[in-house]
Amino acid sequence: GGTAKDGVIELQGDQVELALDLLTKEGYRPKRAGG
């Protein structure tokens, strides 16, 4: 799950590390949300 606001993508869940890596490589600014 996650959300996008103000140009930042917040992610959480089982695949968060993979998603963060892929989005960073594509030029986005993702960050981990939750605990």
Q: What is the pLDDT of residues 1-35, one digit of tens each?
A: 888 888 888 888 888 999 999 999 999 888 888 76
Please tell me the predicted confidence (pLDDT) of residue 3: 87
The residue extents of the domains of the chain are 2-32
Please tell me the predicted confidence (pLDDT) of residue 35: 65
Q: Can you name the residues that pair with 4 across neighbouring β-strands?
A: 9
Please tell me the predicted confidence (pLDDT) of residue 21: 94
Helices and strands per DSSP (H, E), number in the chain: 1, 3
Its pTM surpasses 0.85: no
Helices (H), 1-35: 16-25
Q: Is the dihedral of CA 15, 18, 24, 28 positive or negative?
A: negative
